[in-house]
Chain A
Amino acid sequence: MSFSWAKHYEPKSDLTKWLDERLPLPRLVYGAIGGGYPVPRNLNYFWNFGVLAGIALVIQIVTGIIMAMHYAPNALVAFDSTEHIMRDVNWGWMLRYAHANGASFFFIVVYIHIFRGLYFSSYKAPREMIWLLGLVIFLLMMATAFMGYVLPWGQMSFWGAKVITGLFGAIPLVGEPIQQWLLGGYAPDNAALNRFFSLHYLLPFVIAGVVILHIWALHIPGSSNPTGVEVKSESDTVPFHPYYTAKDGFGLGVFLILFCAVLFFAPNMLGHPDNYIPANPLSTPAHIVPEWYFWPFYAILRAFTFDFFIVPAKLLGVLAMFASILLLFFLPWLDRSPVRSGNYRPLFRTFFIVLVIDVLILGYLGGAPAEEPYVMLSQLASAYYFAHFLIILPIISKIEKPKPLPFSITEAVLGKDSHGTAGGPALQPAE
């Protein structure tokens, strides 16, 4: 773990020496996010988003725990207890708006983090495990966010829960029993609300556990960097503290400014008005849509309109929606290019930009009503999404001629490196 030139923790006071011999917690922190963790010196601002995601998780857990002291997970009073938080609990409105918008900002940050990983191929050897654990976190986040949205027991809560658990109903033969088992009934009601609350409280701590594994796995090979060239010598790195603690501090400030601007001045911008109407099983909303961060996947789900022989369109949509996330688990083995960074892969870069636009279009279409021409457009956009990862990416990693890589991070930054120069054996990126 870590590089030979990494500094070691030296306890100075008697207390820290005593502690270090019994429970070396300061040593662990020093090596993880302190002066003992050497990090490439050339990280750009996209590398701020991992830390920001961690902070977003903490914001969610803190605001959520306090709200759970006032919220009542019972179908009769859940809506009113949410309004009680908004109206009567001291600073309750701030907690709830921070929690609701905090979920949105958590997803914004995580999406940027994921796309950074895609562009700089952070999933490639030796960092596959970091990528896989990150995807597990993403799946857990989606489950947590979905169940959290049900808790205020508004119209979108109820109908969202009905539609999403209805996806399991598309499974042949066992689908309906599974749906009833998940909900504890034929439709979302008190049983569903109670278990969703229980799991919504549990899963963030599971996420925190997987985050620890994610960071642990990161510290084995160390952070990647915008050139994609592995660290070769001490001049390629700087200690995490104070260099990246300072940079992350500044990044956190910018994040909080944007977050608070929305929280205090447009707190309902990202929500749906229907969720301020109490849940009513007898009145279906005109357009049932999930929260914005699920829209790309919702568009893929709804893009399948024709049965494939005996496979019903609904089941195809469900399979495709799950496949759209699961395929990311195979990415380290689909993209075979030895070059990591998109900066040195002109063809890859072009298709990556198309992918970003494609996902944004999918997001827009997922929020649009299920009518033409939106359905046709989401069929095209979904087709590209699958083709990009499963067909285009493996092909371009084979046929593309990458640009020459710098010998080292130091050379990329300073223009020269006393250890060697570009064009030498360094063209072989570290595997």
Chain B
Amino acid sequence: MNGFWVNFFFILLSLTAILSALYVVLTNNLVRAAFALFFTLFSVAGLYAILSADFIAVVQVMIYVGGILVLIIFGILLTRTVFDMSLYDKKMSKFWAGVIVVIMALIFLKVIFGTDWLVRSGTTIQPVTARLGNIFLSRYLLPFEVASVLLLVAIVGALFIARREVKKR
């Protein structure tokens, strides 16, 4: 439509993403944390859509919300003690954690201020799916195939770990 609504939804989605992410990290209720991830992942998909990356937005919903989040929740529900669990790890030293956090924050800040950000041109949204497909099968064919082989190996490995040995008599 126009600039006002783009800005409005950008602020709304960013706030939702940040606040729900904070809730995920800070809450002690493991199941609620997993369900709050839904809002984070979904608003990130909305942000992709605002950046006119429609394909990536939909794939984000499909893979992260429909696949990974469901598997996370599934895993949590199958574990034994999900009630009143303290998520604080006593073995972890607060000092070293703080050092790592500061280093990570510095790296992120350097990336944020050091990058030449592309400014989205115009307000109309261009379809990207066909272009993505063409680029994947021409210029980035090798990385694309390497990623596919990696995923295939991961699937076979997961099956190998999960399978049950059938004892021969």
A and B pair up: no
